[in-house]
Structure 1
Amino acid sequence: MKTVGIVVEYNPFHNGHLYHAQKARETAKADVVIAVMSGHFLQRGEPAIIHKWARTRMALQNGVDLVVELPYAFSTQKAEIFSYGAISILKELACTSFCFGSENGQTKPFLDALATIQTAAEPLNRLIQFYMKEGNSFPKAQTLAREQLFKEDLSLDLSLPNNILGYHYVQANEQLGEPMQPLTIKRQQAGYHDESLAFDSIASATGIRKEIEASKHLSAIEKFVPESTLIELNEYYNTHQTFHSWNQYWPLLRYRLLSASITELQSIYDITEGIEFRFKETARHAETFSDFMEKVKTKRYTWTRIQRMLVHILTNTTKVEMKQAMSSVRYIRLLGMNEHGREYMNKMKKEISLPLITRAASHKELLALDIKASDVFMQGVQTPELLNIEFTHPPVLLL
């Protein structure tokens, strides 16, 4: 069976995601579409709007055949590590190809950019360090260094978010021995960070979440999402009386910042250069999460980078824990499948070299970080049965 892999968050699943899944199958001429989906905390350093099994159901009802989890150790990382974890999982699942959305829409520029950048790795790194010492964030330093070193030699705009991720997917595939064919489709209409709902039927997940928060009513987004997404969101809200956002976790985060010692904060993954002092002091005066972020933001650190740090503080994830967990992909966590996905897994499960996990209770040590992250995520709702959902919820079957 021919398979195509996609890397997703579905926060929530919308019409642009539907287009991506359909075009990935069509472009790859694939029998099976496999999605590697982030769990409860996401790459931009924020909680998912609803839990991963509800997002899995959305995917399976809209063109995806199999959903596996991108572990916390990779899902809450910068683009390079995020991409390497996701592509490693797709390789392990023997995908023929992988397909990503991009602002560019053509595969060759990604391959050309990778080759060009690899030939100048050392001078590029020196320039990046130079620009970072001048106080720029890492992404800004990368952009400035590439502009100076390559000028017009790169035909790929690596300042655009989907192009950045696509570049790192292709890079990871190359590092893994090029087991899959990279494919890309042009992102339609709304940009990755677009906060407005300006188009007829396509909006970014960011824009959709903003609209839900502002309007407090799901009817405002109905033309931008499949009907199944509306049903899942309605059911989730009716059951739990809320969606997840940073606002709900602010009291927990502030408690962590104020009660932890400086030494404890320094042990948390990604905390560097004394920013823990700034976090701790700002937590004394900020009234809301947004207020905290506005006060703590600096030129040196992007909003996303700070949010990822705060996720690790919230989940108490240390440098030691993360170093071990992100050293390599160590398992495949199955979240859900339809009939095509089940048929594929039945054929492939003996070929997969890593543990294939369907029950968390049997692999508590391997899943330690994911279980902890899930426990923290569930503090955002006041529904008792969710506190043990990591152990009680089986993979979603849509047959």
Structure 2
Amino acid sequence: MNVTSLITEYNPFHNGHIYHINESRKISDADVVIAVMSGNFTQRGEASITNKFIRAAHAVKHVDLVVELPLKNSISFADDFALGGVRIAELLGSTHLVFGSESGDISALKQLYTDSRDNVNKDELSGLIKKGYSHPRALSKLLGSDDISGSNNILGLSYIRALETLDSRITPMTIKRQSNQYNEPDLSAGAFSSATSIRNSIMEGNLDAVKNFMPSDLADDILKNKAVSNADFFQTLKLIITHKSPKELREIYMMSEGLEHRLKSNVRGADTYDDFMHRIKTKRYTWTRLNRLMTCILLNITYSDMAAHDVQNINAVRVLAMNPTGRKYLKTLKDSDVEIITNVNKENSHHISDEIMATDIYNIAHNSAQNDFNTPVIID
């Protein structure tokens, strides 16, 4: 049996994702397709535009299972994100992992990973990063390869690294990304548009335009349930940063080089989230990096929390949604060592305490009563 996993965010779910699912099913000859999806906070350091339950309900119309990527992997760097996703894919007996990339060539990406692993001097890499280079740009300079420039290529290298780290037998495959780039801010003139451009248009109230690029019923759901962004948490963040001491802020994951002082000296004068971010942004710290830091502050994720998070110790999977094929497949795993959580209760909630907490905080902005205890697994 071929079981294909896709490590996803679906923020929001759109037509490009449907293309990815259909092509993945085809090239891997999948009997079962699983989406390992971020919860309410994502790898770019952004609150999801709508909650994980709504996203899962629409995704399961196209995949067979939607399971939740652990929070600490969802909000961290590409390597952590990939490692958590691959671990969940392993626990669910996946045979294939299919991801989108600008390259579309798995052999080239594997070779690029090998070159970066074997030929890059770590001191030179660190030196470039200290000069203000992003990690991908530094790698690209040292290897002389343009293939590192795409966001999905970079994530692809992390998936390949994670498979090697976990000594996985999962076969990686890739599909060439279609239409505009991952972080393109404007809607495409083609058939597909980036999640970034769709989010921007939704926040601008341009719902009619985005319906060309995503299921119209999902667009209606987002409008009905309120679109969420990091800006909705600014007052909460402002309170936390103001009242935590510099020592307490230094313990927050991704806080470094005295950045806590920069935050404290600028937060009181900022009126909005964007205003605050522009005040603290430097050449060294990208917008995405700072977004991730803000998410860690909001969720109180510390260095010690991340150090204690070993994906090898994950032995439970939270199922958000399934169709009849997914339900049938889950029954084949009942004798395995993995605990499958469909409905959350007192007995199993300790496995997903981070995700429960993140949902409760997310609901501050979403004005939703849906939480992990009162929302049963979605069945399509």
**Aligned position for 2:108:** 109
1:47 maps to what in 2?
Answer: 47
Structure 1's unaligned 5+ residue stretches are none
Distance 1:10 1:307 in 2: 18
Pair 1:170 & 2:160 matched: yes
Query: Is residue 341 from structure 1 mapped to residue 331 from structure 2 by the alignment?
Result: no
User: Mean alpha-carbon deviation: is it higher for 22-31 or for 265-274?
Assistant: 265-274
1:59 equivalent in alignment to 2:76: no
Mapping of residues 53-132 of structure 1, within 5 Å = 53-61=53-61, 63-121=62-120, 123=121, 125-132=122-129
Counterpart of 2:373 in 1: which secondary structure?
helix
Q: How far 1:323 moved relative to its partner?
A: 2.0
Percent of matched pairs sharing the same residue: 34
Q: 1:173 to 1:395 in 2, by over 3 A?
A: same
1:365 aligns with 2:350: yes
Corresponding position of 2:235: 251
Q: Distance in 1 between matches of 2:19 and 2:27?
A: 12
Q: Which amino acid aligns with 2:141?
A: E
Residues 184 and 297 of structure 1: CA distance in aligned 2, closer, same or farther (over 3 Å): same
User: d(CA) in 2 for partners of 1:137 and 1:52?
Assistant: 34
Q: 1:355 corresponds to which residue?
A: 339
* Inter-partner Cα distance in structure 2 for 1:274 and 1:349: 49
DSSP 3-state at the match of 2:285: coil
How many Å apart are 1:236 and its aligned residue?
4.5
Identify if the C-alpha distance between structure 1 residues 330 and 308 changes in structure 2 by more than 3 Å, giving closer, same or farther: farther
Contact (CA 8 Å) 2:318, 2:352: kept in 1 or not? no
Deviates more, 1:160-169 or 1:316-325: 316-325
Q: Give the counterpart letter for 1:219 in structure 2.
A: D
Q: How far 1:232 sits from its partner (Å)? A: 3.2
2:372 is aligned with what amino acid? E
Report how far residue 324 of structure 1 moved: 1.7
Secondary structure, in 3 states, of the residue corresponding to 2:361? helix
Structure 2 stretches of 5 or more lacking a match? none
* Contact kept? 1:128, 1:138, Cα under 8 Å: no
CA deviations on 1:296-345 (whole Å, 9 max, x unpaired) are 11111111111101001011122222222345334211111101111111
- Mapped partners of 2:344, 2:283: distance in 1: 41
CA contact (8 A) 2:140 2:149 kept: no
Q: CA deviation at 1:82?
A: 0.5
Aligned to 1:179: 169
Does the CA contact (< 8 Å) of 1:56 and 1:335 recur in 2? yes
1:390 match: secondary structure: coil
Q: Report deviation, 1:146.
A: 4.3
- Secondary structure at the aligned position of 2:266 is classed as helix
Q: Does 2:234 align with 1:235?
A: no
Q: Which moved more, 1:371-380 or 1:14-23?
A: 371-380
Residues 261-301 of structure 1: CA deviation (Å, up to 9, x unaligned): 11111111121111011111111111111111111111111
Describe the shift of the 1:49–1:145 C-alpha distance in structure 2 as closer, same or farther (beyond 3 A).
Answer: closer
Give aligned pairs, total. Answer: 378
Is contact 2:91-2:315 (8 Å) kept?
no
Normalised TM-score (structure 2): 0.95
Letter in 1 for 2:238: R
Compared with structure 1, are the counterparts of its residues 360 and 322 closer, same or farther at alpha carbon in structure 2 (3 Å cutoff)? farther
Pairing 1:1-399 to 2, within 5 Å after superposition? 1-61=1-61, 63-121=62-120, 123=121, 125-134=122-131, 136-139=132-135, 142-148=136-142, 150-151=143-144, 154=145, 157-214=147-204, 216-226=205-215, 230-238=216-224, 240=225, 242-328=226-312, 329-351=314-336, 353-361=337-345, 362-383=347-368, 385-386=369-370, 389-398=371-380
SS, match of residue 148 in structure 2: coil
Q: Secondary structure at the match of 2:68?
A: strand
Tell me, in whole angstroms, the C-alpha distance in 2 between the residues paired with 1:330 and 1:277: 39
